[in-house]
Amino acid sequence: MTRPNFFNLPKGLTARVLGAIGIVAVAALIATACGNDDGNADTPTADTPTSIGEATGDTPTSIGGTADTPTADTPTGDTPSGDTGDTPTDTEDTGDTQTGDTEDTADTSAEGTASESEPLADPAGITLLTHDSFALSDETLAAFTNETGIEVTLLQVGDAGQMISEAILTAGNPLGDVMFGVDNTFLARALNAELFEPYESPNLADVPDEFKLDAQHRVTPIDYGDVCVNYWTDALETDPPTALEDLTAPQFADQLVVQNPETSSPGLAFLLATIAGTDDWEQFWADLADNGVAVTAGWGDAYYGEFIAGGGKRPMVVSYASSPPAEVIYADPPVDAAPTEVLVDSCFRQIEFAGVLAGTDHPVEAQALIDFMLTPTFQDDVPLNMFVFPVADSATLPQVFVDHAQIAEDPLFIDPAEIEVNRDEWTDRWVEIVLG
């Protein structure tokens, strides 16, 4: 799912009453914390492996001890964590491989597969390649190390687009053993580049089929999030919109702010939502432009700039289905109800995957980490740290998510292979229509 770090704010901060100084401070905090909406996916540079919470560039250290990791009380992500790639990359397409109809050829019979219950006799440490928005509680990966003896080193390399570009450049001689954070908007690119070794985790039995997009099990679904239009309920002068097309109506003129799909993951997801959810997406955007839509480069500029939450004047913004729970968590003084709601008809689903990187020297240990990511220990820790939803049926959502999150029953979706083939054409056409 990436990804702007909507919630990397200290408790007690009331976003709605931020003054000019506060808005600038929050924007700087977001940019420093995640770097997701302005990353350059064409020229990625891998950071030195670090423990979660350490400054990039420190000597590699292992996770599973006492690293200063973000906890459930200080979540750092708002979405389909990893933003999911804020800047579409220019990596050359390598084929139009379908991701859901390929014959199932997953290799689950290797000697000593990770699904065995007994710990490995002499496990090797492994490296987890991921995006900058990855965050877990200290105890979570420590539990994996305690159970298996496998120590995990974290290597964060920017947003999801940068991460995938880096992995393609090092294909066959990977920087890590497992990759976490490729979502369905970049999935075909990663699969076409043959970045992963097939592995079917036995824990997939706990995951609904709707999340399993690769029949060869080269990647395993871990979490998901919906990008949706959010609106500030008491700021609308009329009834809220109930359909995407409503956003072009005169009563909603000059009220919506969106992100540029060329520079922002939620911006791209919302463009895809309009392609999947309207009869004529090009005409929709022409009408939306005539209706005074505002466009920002990234999510932070939209949510903490133009939107009411940051002191702006616009009551509607492209954000996430997990944004209303966050408004409750960070409200000061505390509130019983979220001030924002979601236009469910606008929600585009981002599913986030992990996979064993092809060429790893430690496939068994890597498979063990994939298995662990589908256990309750990992799945239950995801919502309040990365503000996404766990895929496992057995996972337990925090009560604040149960009470305030709105999940689309029939979210908008486009096949990953179709996204990969048409991404550049769609975004170029959007620029022509909206930006002139």
Please say if the pLDDT value at position 224 is more than 80: yes
Pair (282, 153) in one structural domain = no
pLDDT of residue 183: 95
pLDDT band with cut points at 50, 70 and 90 for residue 113: very low
More confident residue, 32 or 267: 267
Pair (77, 204) in one structural domain = yes
Please say if the pLDDT value at position 58 is more than 70: no
Looking at the domain assignment, is residue 394 inside a domain?
yes
Q: Which residues, listed in sequence order, are joined to residue 221 by a DSSP beta bridge? A: 353
Q: What is the distance between the terminal CA atoms of the chain, rounded to a whole angstrom?
A: 30
Q: What is the pLDDT of residues 275-304, one digit of tens each?
A: 999 999 999 999 999 999 999 999 999 999
pLDDT of residue 4: 45
Contact assessment for residue 384 and residue 75, using Cβ atoms and an 8 Å cutoff: yes
pLDDT of residue 122: 78
Pair (341, 371) in one structural domain = no
The CB density around residue 250, as the number of other CB atoms within 10 Å, is: 6
pLDDT of residue 111: 38
Task: Tell me the average pLDDT across 56-83.
Answer: 38
Q: What is the Cα–Cα distance from 163 to 178, expressed in whole angstroms?
A: 12
Element (H, E) at 55: none
Task: Tell me the average pLDDT across 177-186.
Answer: 97
Please say if the pLDDT value at position 198 is more than 70: yes
Looking at the domain assignment, is residue 427 inside a domain?
no
pLDDT band with cut points at 50, 70 and 90 for residue 5: low
Under DSSP, the state recorded for 235 is: G
Q: What is the Cα–Cα distance from 152 to 140, expressed in whole angstroms?
A: 11
Q: What is the reported pTM?
A: 0.76
Q: What is the pLDDT of residues 356-401, one digit of tens each?
A: 999 999 999 999 999 999 999 999 999 999 999 999 999 999 999 9
Please say if the pLDDT value at position 11 is more than 70: no
Looking at the domain assignment, is residue 413 inside a domain?
no
More confident residue, 6 or 287: 287
Q: Which residues, at least 6 apart from 58, have a Cβ–Cβ distance to it below 8 Å?
A: 48, 50, 51
Looking at the domain assignment, is residue 330 inside a domain?
yes
Whether the upstream peptide bond of residue 240 has omega within 30° of 0, thus cis, is no
pLDDT of residue 120: 76
pLDDT band with cut points at 50, 70 and 90 for residue 50: very low
Pair (244, 220) in one structural domain = no
Contact assessment for residue 128 and residue 369, using Cβ atoms and an 8 Å cutoff: yes
Task: Tell me the average pLDDT across 408-427.
Answer: 97
Please say if the pLDDT value at position 204 is more than 90: yes
Please say if the pLDDT value at position 21 is more than 90: no
Lowest mean pLDDT segment, chosen from 2-6, 171-175, 254-258: 2-6
pLDDT band with cut points at 50, 70 and 90 for residue 118: low
Q: What percent of the chain has pLDDT above 70?
A: 72
Pair (61, 162) in one structural domain = yes
pLDDT of residue 319: 97
Pair (219, 178) in one structural domain = yes
Contact assessment for residue 18 and residue 26, using Cβ atoms and an 8 Å cutoff: yes
Pair (340, 191) in one structural domain = no
- Burial class of 367 by CB neighbour count within 10 A (0 to 12, 13 to 18, 19+): buried
Q: What is the Cα–Cα distance from 370 to 360, expressed in whole angstroms?
A: 14
Relative to beta strand 196-197, strand 389-390 is: unpaired
Q: What is the Cα–Cα distance from 327 to 322, expressed in whole angstroms?
A: 9
Looking at the domain assignment, is residue 4 inside a domain?
no
Q: What is the Cα–Cα distance from 81 to 381, expressed in whole angstroms?
A: 13
Per-position b or e across 180-196, b if 16+ CB within 10 A of its CB? bbbbbbbbbbbbbbebb
pLDDT band with cut points at 50, 70 and 90 for residue 174: very high
- For the chain, the residue count is 436
What's the number of domains the chain is made of? 2
The CB density around residue 61, as the number of other CB atoms within 10 Å, is: 15
More confident residue, 86 or 345: 345
Q: What is the Cα–Cα distance from 78 to 327, expressed in whole angstroms?
A: 11
What's 283's domain CATH number? 3.40.190.10
Per-position b or e across 150-165, b if 16+ CB within 10 A of its CB? bbbbbbbbbbbbbbbb
Residue 3 three-state SS: coil
Lowest mean pLDDT segment, chosen from 18-27, 190-199, 406-415: 18-27
Instruction: Tell me the two tokens of residue 108.
Output: 């689950």
Lowest mean pLDDT segment, chosen from 11-15, 140-144, 196-200: 11-15
Q: How many helices (H) and strands (E) does the chain have?
A: 13, 11
SS3 letters across 251-294: HHCCCEEEECCCCCHHHHHHHHHHHHHCCCHHHHHHHHHHCCCE
pLDDT of residue 201: 98
Pair (218, 124) in one structural domain = yes
Lowest mean pLDDT segment, chosen from 45-59, 167-181, 262-276: 45-59
Q: What is the Cα–Cα distance from 205 to 184, expressed in whole angstroms?
A: 21
Pair (222, 236) in one structural domain = no
Pair (369, 242) in one structural domain = no
pLDDT band with cut points at 50, 70 and 90 for residue 102: very low
Looking at the domain assignment, is residue 268 inside a domain?
yes
- Burial class of 118 by CB neighbour count within 10 A (0 to 12, 13 to 18, 19+): exposed
Q: What is the pLDDT of residues 154-168, one digit of tens each?
A: 999 988 889 999 999
Q: What percent of the chain has pLDDT above 90?
A: 70
pLDDT band with cut points at 50, 70 and 90 for residue 329: very high
Pair (275, 150) in one structural domain = no
Q: What is the Cα–Cα distance from 182 to 214, expressed in whole angstroms?
A: 13
pLDDT band with cut points at 50, 70 and 90 for residue 14: very low
Pair (218, 258) in one structural domain = no
Please say if the pLDDT value at position 66 is more than 80: no
Q: Which residues, listed in sequence order, are joined to residue 390 by a DSSP beta bridge? A: 223
Domain ranges, residue 341: 227-348
Task: Tell me the average pLDDT across 314-325.
Answer: 97
Looking at the domain assignment, is residue 7 inside a domain?
no
pLDDT of residue 115: 43
Relative to beta strand 126-130, strand 220-232 is: unpaired
